[in-house]
Structure 1
Amino acid sequence: MTPADPFGADALRESTLLAWRSSPTRLREDAATESDLAVAGYRDRLLTELAQNAADAAARAGVPGTMRIRLDGTRLHVANTGAPLDRAGVQALSALRVSGKDAVGGPAVGRFGVGFTAVLSVSDEIELRSTTGSIAFSAARTRDELRAAGLEEPERGLPVLRLVWPIDTEPPPGFDSEVVLALRPGVDGDRLLRQLADDAADLLLELPALVSIELAGETVTRSERPLADGLTELEIGSRTWWQYSAGPSARWLVPVVDGRVRPVAADVLRAPTRSDEELSLPAILIADAALQPDRRRLMPGAALAHLADGYADFVAALPESQRLRLVPVPGFARGEVDAVLREAVLWELTGNPWLPGADGRALVPGSAVVLPGLTAELADLLGDVIPGLVGPGLSTERDAQPLSAVGAHRIGLAHLTELLAGIHREPDWWGRLYAALEPLVVDSVAAEELAAIPVPLTDGRTVTGPRTVVLGHDLGSPRHGIDMHGVHWMRLVHPDAAHRLLGRLGAGTATALDVLSDPALLTAIEDVDLDDHTATSELADSVLQLAGAASGAGDLPGWLGRLPLPDADGLLRAADELLLPGAPLAGVLVEDSPFGTVSSALVEQFGEAALRGVGVGWGFTVLRAELPTGPEQDLDDEDAWWSTLADDPDVLLAVRDLDLVDADAWPEALGLLASEPATSALLTDRLGYTAWWLRRHARVNGVRLGAMRQADDRTFEGLLDVFEHRDAVALSGVLAADRVDGVEMAELLLDRLADRDRDPSPAVVARTHRLLAEATAAGVLDLDELSPPAAVRTLSGTLADPADAVVLDRAWLAAAVPPELLVIGDLPSAAGLAELLDLPPASEAVRGEVLGAGRRVSAWDREPAAVLAHVALGLALPEGTLVVHDRLTVRLTGAVRRDVELPWWVDEDGRTHCTERGLFAGTDAERHAD
């Protein structure tokens, strides 16, 4: 039975055979052309070409395009829905050089044109089944026709797609057309299916008329969902793309994973299916572009730049944080087409607004400014300072390259510092700016770039650079609650702007104590206009707040006492001329003391600690002076104390106003001094001004403190009176020392030794004489400042006329001189004592002549009694001559005139005379003399 021929296939075949018979050259040309298209132009494009035909059929029919691909043994079946085969299509298939394109609802992508030759890559026996009729192409039947016509088979092979035969086979139910390919021997069907499966998703992306491709039982579908700003979300299988149609000429797509775009690394121009024109753009371009017949390359001279129109709108439609991912980064173009398109895309991006600004508006990149590391906080602060500032989401280091590619201007911290110069903002704005900038200062280079950043001060000024300012350490915190606005004497950072970044940039730090110790404050105090109530009140408030914060941190400078404060009557007086209400100091001062009482309102507002810190009195006030150079502290009798110092002290601490104590109130005043830690510490410093002044001037019961002793100090017992006071132990430094420490002490002791109403023991007398002599020898005493006493205390305890008394300086004279004439200290210091008392040494005032010859011993070791004496006393035997007497009588002349019997004597020649009993006495005396 002859098959129906609705498309005139038989006539077409006869016409082609007639042309070949008429011109064998035409046969060879057709064979060569078909071979070239199959082997070169349309290699590896089997599914692409069949999908294009299917998409065009669906578009013609206005239905969603579907494809089904299956393998039946060695036969590959590719079915599709859409417009069925028609006469024009059959003519296009068999004509080889003619395409049946027709714009139906938009540009057609190809309908049975030369691309169908791709089937020849796997098959020589092809059927095209359709609901309107079916045809076949066959290499075997074409060969038979050539033989029947007497034509030779061309060297390049048979032109299989030139001769068409009608067939009766229909497409499967549910489909309008089906291409059936009998696979050529050697073609692996399963492998072919896998290759076709790899192309399925791309084809659904490129050909919007297709919605699904079923292959080997698995179906890949495409769905669309409109998004905001012209974006469309495409889902094909498990993959997602965002699509943007930039006019009729181009569609842009980018893969999306978990809501974030994933720029493509490399792709090709798709027009609409894949060509061989390589691109390095970050998005897929599907464009209406003029391709050569094999659809692999662009036609020479084809216009391209217009395809980039709208790319900026595509980028602007993306989330702000992802826009830069679609900026082509610098790199080598993959070819001429890529170079043109890259340049056009960058030009499009550079001149159109799409870059997110810090103020929320889209910026044209060419006029945008980028601050690397910008944060949301920093952007909020700088939005009106830097016009065109790019938002923080696109200001990271990884964004630098794409931003540079589109012409955005990058600035650093140094340029930012320049932009900040001269602007006026509240201090808290600057504080928030420093906090926002801190994360950007990662090294010394960044710190140097911010070296000139403006800094607001407490006095309302804004200065350049942190290196000249000081941070008030914790002064503006709620814990202290200090209003720092009145601190104008120091370049102090406003507390609302204070931030640790300024310290990193070179700002100093200052505690409340540091601020109060600044010499500029002294100048401010001295220069304040006492007639300006506002100025004096602000200065006082600032200083007193700081004094409260500095409580316990250390001694405040004494000159803070000059701070003018209101007294109880509202009159301004220096702080150190005021007392706190109920101050115990008021009870020990003279009636006409210059002190007033501070305003009770100040006490309520700032507290007693702050007022005491600046010198307002409660007890005695301690003056502190750093590196003083002389008696310039206005202390009583300061010149005299200063003359006692060998060197200027590094720090002078002294109790003020001791000269204002009432003479009868010293017991109470001393108790007050001992009760305060600051003043009691000075009472133990004997060399310090305070203890010195009290010893010299303070009197209890008419007696100077320096003339009294502690009860347990018996050094000068009987000469100095005991100091009776509940705080006597704490006051030890203001009483007499247990040594002779100066001319005043020496004069006192000499006077007390000559006082007939005193009855010191011989031991105290001897000890006192020794200490006086040692002080003389040590240079503590200047004898030119002392007058010889009118009477001297002798060994017997009586007072003797200095003209009669002698100082014992030789041991053997102790028994020779009467006790009532003998003044003793100890033998080593006898010369100094004699000089101090202006008395002759006994060895000079008394001469002696030994009466009687005695027994001469040539050496001490020859005398048994001498050996015994020295062994018993643990002494070495001396050298020299020894004369032993039964009775030793010496005739004394000089200050003492008499004959006296003595145990031992040393004559002018150095010989020792003694009795046997006297050997022990003389030896022991020698030991003590040594």
Structure 2
Amino acid sequence: MPAPDSADPFGTAALRDGIVAAWRSSPTRLREDAATEADYVRAGYRDRVLTELAQNAADAATRAGIAGEMRVWCDGDALHVANVGEPLDEAGLQALTALRASSKKQGVGQFGVGFTAVLSVAGEIEVRSRTGSVRFSESRTRDVLAEHDLPVPTSGIPALRLAWPTDTAPTDGTDTEVVLHLRPDIDAQGLLDRFRDEAADVLLELPALRTVVVDGHELTRTEAPLPSGLHDVRIGELRWWEYRGSSARWLVPVVRGRVRPVTADVLRAPTRSDEELSLPALVVADVAMQPDRRRMLPGGHLETAGEGYASFVAALPADQRLDLVPTPGFARSDADHRLREAVLDDLRSRPWLPAADGSADLLPSRAVAFPGLTDELAEVLADIVPGLISPALCTPRCAPALAAVDVQLIGPARLAELLSGHHREPHWWNSLYEALMPLVVDGVVAEELASLPVPLSDGRTVTGPRTTVLASDLPEVRDLALPWVRLVHPDAAHPLLVRLGAGTVSAADLLSDPALVAAVEDADLDDPTDDTPATLADVVLRLVTHVPASAVPRELGALPLPDAHGELTPADELLLPGAPLAEVLVDDAPFGTVAPDVVEKYGADALRAVGVGWGFTVLRAELPTGPDHNLPDEDLWWETVDTDPDTLVAVRDLDLVDEDRWAQALALLASDPATAAALADRTGYTAWWLRNEAILDGQRLGRYRWADDTTFEGLLDPCTHPDADAFRSCLAGDGLEDLDLAQTLLDRLADAARHPTPAVIVAAHTTLARAFASGTVEADAVTLPDGVRAVSGAVVDAADALIPDRPWWAGVIPPDRLVTGAAGTASALADLLDLPVASAVVTAEPTRQGRTTTWDREPAAVAATVMTGAPLPKGRLVLHDRLTVRCSGALTGDHDVSWWVDASGTTHSTVEGLVPAVAAVSNAHAVAGPGGTGS
């Protein structure tokens, strides 16, 4: 082999002669070379100048075993691209001129067909290397064709087929420098700007290159291994995490510590191709490509590039892994479709999903996601839902990615189903409800959780909050059991249950539940093996301490409690030890004493609330409608009620008081505010019963008057009990409220040993007459005494008594015979007492004639109306100097009077009698009506 010529170290002259000889011998070869070169420029290697030169630089650095560097700058119309590494050699030059061949043993390419890209910007190209330099020239090639009478191909001059030696060395510090003398239509600065934009991609794709400097702007690639197995790659201010698989490298941009998935890219093999991808990460794959490296070769095994993708994802932080799962969408190319399926297959077949409990990563087919899962909920569900993935991957944004790799998604309804059959402590359920609370944002979620299990206070766990209730004011009682209601255990109670349909009840609601009343009534008091009575008693006695006594239903008086002998007895048939009530009851009263240990455990207040006696018990019934409260003589009291009361308040067991102990019993009633309030209601049952049945010092309480009430003074005795003021409504009033008081008044009016005043006598007669007139007292229901009380105070024989049915008769009837009430009551009083009225048995007329006049003509008569305030009567008036009336019949004799009305209705009067006459006549007209004289 001849020694190389120092002026032409690569033997370019021989190469040119050989190529020209080939063209001359085969014009077709010339056209083929020109067409192929033109095709590469126009299609295969368009816009790939920097990429192709960078590939050459990377391979040169690799072969030299150094970190690659590449510099790009412009000097006038010349673009310089210099690099370090293995320099140009003869084989390399031959590859450049051969067009279809490359001398590379490894790497992407070195001075092979890709170098054709330089023709897109230059027709004059220099390759300067420290081993020798050559020049490719479009103009000189044209001259060679002319020199040999070869036609210029229509596709253009094949400028890279012929090379000429030059003596220009590369720039200091570089091993190879390509100089492109730009065509006049090429914008040098625009070309540099585009190169600068491509530099980062070049450094990503070609790891053999460490530094690229474009027009003074330097970019350097650095990388560092991460504990996760990834590499942290940085180029300038940009950052990627890189995973290196067996047949591909995967990279994803990182911004502020979080991956930022790409939305569109191309297959890089290793440099960018035209195979569009929609994967969330960049892929640099070892894939067989067509010579121009824009498309894959048919039958290329692209699927192998997807192997290891799951390991790439698994190396990412747990909360970022789903960002790199390809979500459903249209593939951008066949390569995209194949690579997406390969990636998804790898993701489905390997464990990479972080478990919620922090254990080993999960295989997607065995993983479960609950949308909206929080750390708190994940902790609660750790042993309920196996395969639960990290809460960070259970957001709505993650749902498409999870579905893409076939992760099982469960909703609230499925969760409720999975919880069914599990038994946990109430605190655990409360934690679950607290964790679920933020997820219940609408009625749809609430409906899906309708079958959520709920623990009850009695130890059961039931399905569905809607069948349960929460106690709003229960004490902190952990062992409270309410067999008649589905009460949520206090430790599990949570507002979520109310949102899901649970009711809210107070202690008062629980106590008034008809189911409790039924349970109490159905309790078997004779079965010693049945613990239901003890359970009911425990619950009720704890609840009643948290409600007013008035809110405890009276039916709970049937609550069975042990007495002092251990026998179960209804609460309202028991007394507390030492109860003062026991001191006032009859000896055979049907009350036992509650067991002392029950008092010690629950307290006297709780026991009294359910009816255990201390003092008298007050019964309260809202909206009563009749005598169905087991009160003595209740039906008789209802007959006195005009309208049903809103609330019946009554003291119980009054009929059990010993007749000789009523003074003590009244003191006990007055000392208790609850019973004292019942005493104060005059129309109520308690005051009514006491008036008629309580015996104090030998007579009924209703026959006494309050000491300061003088209405019946002298007829009724004052009540001297020290607490009389408290039960004043239980004493006689100023009216007749029962038949017995009427009989008492009649008897005492006829009792000469009593000394009522005339005013009291008239008041008593008035009360009796009005009671008769109203129907309260019927004449045949009373027994009339032999004597009656005259207004003088004397007790006279009824046969001698007269009732003045006209006011003027009072002037002629002697006081010892005069029996009367208030005006207007004469007729009723006469019927009641079976006494005659005066006008029926006595005839009386004036004995002398007087002066006849009219009322309006007499000054004294008019003056009398002014004095009395009465209206001036109409009609005749007969004035007398002295007026004498002669009586016959039951009353005889002459009687001087000051005024009189004769049988015709004419008023007779002396001047002195005009004042009473005006008052009486006006009142008589008002009572009797027009034309009448009244009674």
Q: TM-score, normalised by structure 2?
A: 0.91
**DSSP-derived class of the 1:222 partner:** strand
Q: In 2 relative to 1, CA 299–570 (structure 1 residues): closer, same or farther, beyond 3 Å? A: same
Superposition deviation, residue 568 in structure 1: 4.5
Aligned equivalents of 1:235 and 1:852: distance in 2? 148
Q: In 2 relative to 1, CA 4–891 (structure 1 residues): closer, same or farther, beyond 3 Å? A: farther
Superposition deviation, residue 3 in structure 1: 5.6
Whether contact under 8 Å (2:872, 2:918) holds in the other structure is no
> Out of 91, 94, 107, which is 2:97 matched to?
94
**Structure 2 counterparts to residues 339-378 of structure 1, below 5 A:** 339-359=337-357, 360-366=359-365, 368-378=367-377
Residue 288 of structure 1 corresponds to 286
Moved more, 419-428 or 62-71: 419-428
Aligned equivalents of 2:641 and 2:467: distance in 1? 39
Read off the aligned partner of 2:468 and give its amino acid letter: V
Residue 893 of structure 1 corresponds to 888
Residue 206 of structure 2 corresponds to 207
> Out of 37, 40, 43, which is 1:40 matched to?
43
Aligned equivalents of 2:562 and 2:650: distance in 1? 26
| Deviation by residue 1:516-562 (Cα, 9 ceiling, x = unmatched) | 23333334334245523855444433222222333x47431233333
> Out of 292, 316, 319, which is 2:317 matched to?
319
**Structure 2 counterparts to residues 3-82 of structure 1, below 5 A:** 4-82=7-85
Whether contact under 8 Å (1:628, 1:648) holds in the other structure is yes
Aligned equivalents of 1:800 and 1:122: distance in 2? 155
| Deviation by residue 1:349-403 (Cα, 9 ceiling, x = unmatched) | 3444333344545444345443322223333333443444444222222222222
Read off the aligned partner of 2:320 and give its amino acid letter: Q
Aligned equivalents of 1:591 and 1:900: distance in 2? 67
Read off the aligned partner of 1:548 and give its amino acid letter: T
Whether contact under 8 Å (1:794, 1:819) holds in the other structure is yes
Aligned equivalents of 2:103 and 2:544: distance in 1? 99
| Deviation by residue 1:496-532 (Cα, 9 ceiling, x = unmatched) | 3222222222222222222223333334334245523
Superposition deviation, residue 56 in structure 1: 1.8
**DSSP-derived class of the 2:197 partner:** helix
> Out of 258, 261, 277, which is 2:259 matched to?
261
Aligned equivalents of 1:101 and 1:594: distance in 2? 120
1:401 and 2:400 aligned: yes
1:547 and 2:544 aligned: yes
Whether contact under 8 Å (1:484, 1:495) holds in the other structure is no
**DSSP-derived class of the 2:477 partner:** coil
Aligned equivalents of 2:555 and 2:154: distance in 1? 119
Whether contact under 8 Å (1:578, 1:596) holds in the other structure is yes
**DSSP-derived class of the 1:822 partner:** coil
Q: In 2 relative to 1, CA 797–83 (structure 1 residues): closer, same or farther, beyond 3 Å? A: farther
Q: In 2 relative to 1, CA 802–455 (structure 1 residues): closer, same or farther, beyond 3 Å? A: farther
Read off the aligned partner of 2:275 and give its amino acid letter: E
Aligned equivalents of 1:782 and 1:44: distance in 2? 129
Whether contact under 8 Å (2:525, 2:560) holds in the other structure is no
| Deviation by residue 1:549-582 (Cα, 9 ceiling, x = unmatched) | 33x4743123333333344454544333443344
| Deviation by residue 1:704-737 (Cα, 9 ceiling, x = unmatched) | 3322233333333333333334444332332223
Aligned equivalents of 2:610 and 2:253: distance in 1? 74
Superposition deviation, residue 651 in structure 1: 4.6
**Structure 2 counterparts to residues 583-622 of structure 1, below 5 A:** 583-591=579-587, 593-622=589-618
Residue 490 of structure 1 corresponds to 485
> Out of 815, 818, 825, which is 2:814 matched to?
818
Residue 504 of structure 1 corresponds to 499
Q: In 2 relative to 1, CA 442–746 (structure 1 residues): closer, same or farther, beyond 3 Å? A: farther
Residue 847 of structure 2 corresponds to 851
Aligned equivalents of 2:181 and 2:48: distance in 1? 17
**DSSP-derived class of the 2:234 partner:** strand
Q: TM-score, normalised by structure 1?
A: 0.92
Q: In 2 relative to 1, CA 701–142 (structure 1 residues): closer, same or farther, beyond 3 Å? A: same
Superposition deviation, residue 86 in structure 1: 2.3
Q: In 2 relative to 1, CA 738–61 (structure 1 residues): closer, same or farther, beyond 3 Å? A: farther
Aligned equivalents of 1:680 and 1:630: distance in 2? 24
1:802 and 2:798 aligned: yes
Superposition deviation, residue 597 in structure 1: 4.0
1:701 and 2:697 aligned: yes
**Structure 2 counterparts to residues 350-749 of structure 1, below 5 A:** 350-359=348-357, 360-366=359-365, 368-475=367-474, 480-525=475-520, 526-530=522-526, 531-532=528-529, 535-550=532-547, 552=548, 554-568=550-564, 570-591=566-587, 593-625=589-621, 631-646=627-642, 651-749=647-745
Aligned equivalents of 2:770 and 2:168: distance in 1? 145
Whether contact under 8 Å (2:873, 2:921) holds in the other structure is no
Q: In 2 relative to 1, CA 735–135 (structure 1 residues): closer, same or farther, beyond 3 Å? A: farther
Aligned equivalents of 2:35 and 2:751: distance in 1? 153
Superposition deviation, residue 199 in structure 1: 1.1
Superposition deviation, residue 307 in structure 1: 2.9
Q: In 2 relative to 1, CA 571–873 (structure 1 residues): closer, same or farther, beyond 3 Å? A: closer
**DSSP-derived class of the 1:355 partner:** coil
1:924 and 2:919 aligned: yes
**DSSP-derived class of the 1:373 partner:** coil
Residue 111 of structure 1 corresponds to 110
**DSSP-derived class of the 1:185 partner:** coil
Aligned equivalents of 2:268 and 2:717: distance in 1? 119
Residue 219 of structure 1 corresponds to 218
**DSSP-derived class of the 1:618 partner:** coil
**Structure 2 counterparts to residues 110-259 of structure 1, below 5 A:** 110-248=109-247, 250-259=248-257
Superposition deviation, residue 923 in structure 1: 0.3
Read off the aligned partner of 1:291 and give its amino acid letter: M
Q: In 2 relative to 1, CA 264–791 (structure 1 residues): closer, same or farther, beyond 3 Å? A: farther
Read off the aligned partner of 1:497 and give its amino acid letter: A
Aligned equivalents of 1:239 and 1:789: distance in 2? 126
Aligned equivalents of 1:161 and 1:882: distance in 2? 163
> Unaligned regions of 5+ residues in structure 1, if any?
none
Residue 755 of structure 1 corresponds to 751
Residue 830 of structure 1 corresponds to 826
Q: CA RMSD in A?
A: 2.9
Residue 770 of structure 2 corresponds to 774
Residue 931 of structure 2 corresponds to none
**DSSP-derived class of the 1:522 partner:** helix
> Unaligned regions of 5+ residues in structure 2, if any?
927-935
Tell me the percent identity.
59
Q: In 2 relative to 1, CA 670–152 (structure 1 residues): closer, same or farther, beyond 3 Å? A: same
Superposition deviation, residue 205 in structure 1: 1.4
Aligned equivalents of 2:549 and 2:717: distance in 1? 41
| Deviation by residue 1:128-175 (Cα, 9 ceiling, x = unmatched) | 222332222223333333333333444433222222122233333443
Superposition deviation, residue 13 in structure 1: 2.2
**Count of aligned positions:** 919
Whether contact under 8 Å (2:524, 2:533) holds in the other structure is yes
Aligned equivalents of 2:312 and 2:779: distance in 1? 108
Superposition deviation, residue 922 in structure 1: 0.6
